[in-house]
A and B are shown apart, each in its own frame.
Chain A
Amino acid sequence: MLRVRLFYGLLTLVVLLWAVGATALLLMRDASKNYERRLEKNYNAISTAQGIRTITSTINSRYLPVLAGPPRAEGPERTSYDTIYSELDSRLATLKEEASHESNWDDAITRLENSIQAYSDGYEKYFGGGVTERDERELLLVFIANQTQQLTSNADTIVSLAEEKLFSGTRQLREESRKDVYFVTTLVLLGTTIAILIYSQLVHHMVDPIVGLKHSIEEVRNGNFELSLPTPTPGSEFGSVVSAFNDMAHELRIHRGETDEHIKRASLVNRAILEAIPSPLFVLGDDGRILQINPSAERLTESLGVSGRLPLKIQKIMDRCKEEGSHFLPEDPREALLFRINEEEFFYLPRIFRFISEDQTRSGWAVLLHNVSRIRWLDDMKTNLLSTVSHEIKTPLTGIRMVLHLLLEEKSLKLDPMQHTMVTSANEDCERLLVTLNTLLDLSRAESGTTYLARVPVQLAESLNRAARLYKSAASAKDIVIDVELPELELPEAYADPLRLDEVLNNLISNAIKHSPSGSTITLRLSKPEAEFLRVSVIDQGDGVPEEFQGRIFERFFRASDESIDGVGLGLFISREIIRAHEGRIGLLDRTNDETVFYIDVPIA
């Protein structure tokens, strides 16, 4: 019970303080009283003894001249002598009263008494009247003078003795007060010792636990839940605090144990998932730093020689995603990126998406590289198969068509109306089948052709001029002018497959011619809208693409409802495939100034 201890300790201290104060006061009063008494006594003795001299000289001055003079008839008058002498007696009595047990003082008093007796004897003789003679008078005078001197000397002795006693009393007092100082000092020292004791107890029982608690709290803050505070003596006020703290540490320990377990399990599950995903997977922080990659991604980056980093092509897309804050989730395997590993080609479809924690506080990016090499291979197989089958069907079909045409020519034999109807119908089916086959072949060509590009630096200005020349006659048939607009500054070369690029240009221009009113102008414009791309815009003054179709014009077999314009609806699809294979862009701009603008962006060499 610290409170009780503290109380008793301080009580002791207070009692001691009171005791010291009281003792000091008592001692001081005692000493001063003692001093006063001595002073009074000795001062009395001194003044009395000194008074004796005065009295004798008064008596002497009254009577000695008379004694020395001639003897008178009448007897000496003794009234004043008696009066004064009684004074002398009383003084002597006073001195006697001051009796002490000191022998020299008593001796001095006795001698004074004797000398007073002798002195008074001298005067008694004088007053007795027996002394009338001159000689006797002179003798008496001398005697009295001697006695007076004797008396005076004795009185002086008394004075000096008293003085001496006074001094010795002071000395004694001083000694006594020194003792008192020792006593008080001892008491103060005792008090100090008790105070120190109380302090140390206080420190031990109050400060130490608090400091210990503080250390422990800091340890806990640093994550060390293993320590517990020593249990204090029973009944201590800190008992509850310590046990509360220990309970808390214990709970934290348990809690952390659970959390650790949870985290371990979660990370195990996490790793299992990551390892189970066959596709390379990168988990990135919001700043783009890689936080985690799975074994597959490790292998990929190692074989690409960019161990632990995103491959450059992916990094570019990642940067764009970060800039725009958008996902990149292509579905089409044809958007896959090509990686060469040990002379082998691999296609990875990058899927980049941003994830946000449930409490919205953390976010990051995940980059999943979906290996679509197999899909691409199958796709190629399908395309090849399509192509082969189409060719195989087309070959005999050309024979059939030939024969049907010959029959319909009716050169060597005439057909009756029924035969003619049947052969005509067969011929029409044959033509339709051929159109379908040609479409299939175009499609397979679009799909297979875009995979393998022979890319070289290309001067787009030349390509534009060539395309304009090629379509000049077709355009002039509709009274359309093709205008080529080149920038004044020479632009860098594009990096493209020239044949494929021409195909795209031709497609866009022929579309423009198809949809342009006669007498209008088609503009081919070359520009450089950004650092990495050159842009070719094909601008016509036709009616444009109806809004509801704009999102679909690049789809396979899509045709706007205008049936008056021929075509199967593969041109823009093929163009898009080609441009996509170039990692470029193709699109339709919003209609302005009654102009329809298709553009392609081709990467710079």
Chain B
Amino acid sequence: MFQSPDNSGAARGTALRHILVVDDEPTLRLGFAYALTNAYTKVETASCGRIALDKIAEAHFDLIILDLRMPDIDGIGVIESLRRAGNQIPIVLCSAALTPGAALKAIRNSVVDFLLKPVHPADLREVVQFILNSPEEPIARALKSAREGRLEDAVEVLAEDQAPSKRSSAWLDFLKSLLAEDRPDDATLSDRLLRFTLSSLAFRAAHTA
């Protein structure tokens, strides 16, 4: 289903993508880089939050695959730092243990794509495809709006979905409650996040969903 790394990009005539993989785990960085690298995808890696921020400052990236738990600046720290700087780059938050608090902070900062470790190479490739190629299915469109900070639009799109998947109804319920809360306090929202189970919000490749 995927092109081989060497020639498919040219065949599709797609511009070269730059992806930054940030993870403190060397093998995982290596694996991610190998899994994603192909003719039209260039992958750079960073072993911690600080190096990641430095690299982002120096070069342009289309997507960041960000580990949550890191020794110096963690995933949320990197996200908040980037958004404060006005950088709205799409980010995939990748973690073995996503906490409700972290997930809520991420969503507030327009990070709506979560990958749960251990990650299958196919999942990784698909989430990149899902974000960068923006398929036409409602969930993809909704999350695209959410990524751009338009949560109301996302709810609208999801509500119109005729055949909602488990993931899309989970997102709809969650976003509704997030918007409905007048002045939501984090504890209540975290509870809701957990109630709909984080795994439901996370990205799932077609073959595992």
Query: A: which residues have CB within 8 A of B?
Result: 391, 394-403, 405-406, 409, 411-412, 434, 441, 454, 473, 498-499, 502
A441 to B162, CA, bound (A): 37
- Contact between A405 and B194, CB atoms less than 8 A apart: no
Which of B23-31, B45-53, B127-135, B201-209 is found at the contact surface with chain A? Answer: B23-31
Which of B118-126, B146-154, B174-182 is found at the contact surface with chain A? Answer: B118-126
- Contact between B97 and A391, CB atoms less than 8 A apart: yes
In-complex Cβ contact of B120 among A394, A405, A411, A498 (8 A)? A405
- Contact between A411 and B5, CB atoms less than 8 A apart: yes
- Contact between B118 and A401, CB atoms less than 8 A apart: yes
Q: State the main secondary structure of chain A at its contact with B.
A: helix
- Contact between A398 and B5, CB atoms less than 8 A apart: no
- Contact between A399 and B26, CB atoms less than 8 A apart: yes
- Contact between B195 and A399, CB atoms less than 8 A apart: no
- Contact between A502 and B195, CB atoms less than 8 A apart: yes
Q: Which residues of chain A are near B35, meaning CB under 8 Å?
A: 402, 406
> Which single residue of chain B is at the shortest CB-CB distance from A397?
B118
Contact with A along B33-55 (1 / 0, CB 8 A): 01100000000000000000000
A401 to B23, CA, bound (A): 15
| Given known A405-B121, A406-B121, contact A396–B25 (CB-CB < 8 A) | yes
A411 to B25, CA, bound (A): 23
- Contact between B194 and A394, CB atoms less than 8 A apart: no
Interface assignment of B16: CB less than 8 Å from any CB of chain A: no
Chain B nearest CB, measured from A75 CB (Å): 188
> Which single residue of chain B is at the shortest CB-CB distance from A502?
B195
A396 to B195, CA, bound (A): 29
A402 to B69, CA, bound (A): 18
Chain A nearest CB, measured from B52 CB (Å): 17
Q: Other CB < 8 Å A-B pairs besides A394-B96, A399-B30, A498-B195, 16 of them?
A: A395-B96, A397-B118, A398-B117, A398-B118, A399-B23, A400-B27, A401-B118, A402-B32, A402-B118, A402-B119, A405-B120, A405-B121, A409-B121, A412-B4, A499-B194, A502-B195
- Contact between A391 and B96, CB atoms less than 8 A apart: yes
A400 to B27, CA, bound (A): 6
A499 to B189, CA, bound (A): 12
Q: Which residues of chain A are near B120, meaning CB under 8 Å?
A: 405
A397 to B26, CA, bound (A): 11
A108 to B118, CA, bound (A): 179
**Interface CB pairs A-B, < 8 A, 21:** A394-B117, A395-B25, A395-B28, A395-B96, A396-B25, A396-B28, A398-B25, A399-B23, A399-B27, A401-B118, A402-B28, A402-B35, A403-B31, A405-B121, A406-B34, A411-B4, A412-B4, A412-B5, A454-B191, A498-B191, A499-B191
- Contact between B28 and A399, CB atoms less than 8 A apart: yes
Chain B, range 100-126, C-beta contacts under 8 Å to A: 117-121
Interface assignment of B166: CB less than 8 Å from any CB of chain A: yes
A502 to B191, CA, bound (A): 11
The 8 closest A-B pairs by CB, nearest first: A399-B27, A402-B31, A399-B28, A398-B118, A398-B117, A403-B31, A399-B25, A401-B118
- Contact between A396 and B27, CB atoms less than 8 A apart: yes
Chain B nearest CB, measured from A531 CB (Å): 29
Q: Which residues of chain B are near A399, meaning CB under 8 Å?
A: 23, 25-31
A545 to B29, CA, bound (A): 47
In-complex Cβ contact of A403 among B23, B27, B97, B194 (8 A)? B27
Q: Which residues of chain A are near B121, meaning CB under 8 Å?
A: 402, 405-406, 409
In-complex Cβ contact of A499 among B27, B69, B195 (8 A)? B195
A395 to B118, CA, bound (A): 8
Q: Which residues of chain B are near A499, meaning CB under 8 Å?
A: 191, 194-195
A473 to B165, CA, bound (A): 10
With most chain A CB atoms within 10 A of its CB, the pick from B31, B32, B97, B118 is B118
A395 to B96, CA, bound (A): 7
Q: Which residues of chain A are near B32, meaning CB under 8 Å?
A: 402
Q: Which residues of chain B are near A405, meaning CB under 8 Å?
A: 31, 120-121
Contact with A along B68-106 (1 / 0, CB 8 A): 010000000000000000000000000011000000000
Q: Which residues of chain A are near B25, meaning CB under 8 Å?
A: 395-396, 398-399
Q: Which residues of chain A are near B118, meaning CB under 8 Å?
A: 394, 397-398, 401-402, 434
- Contact between B195 and A402, CB atoms less than 8 A apart: no
Chain A nearest CB, measured from B139 CB (Å): 16
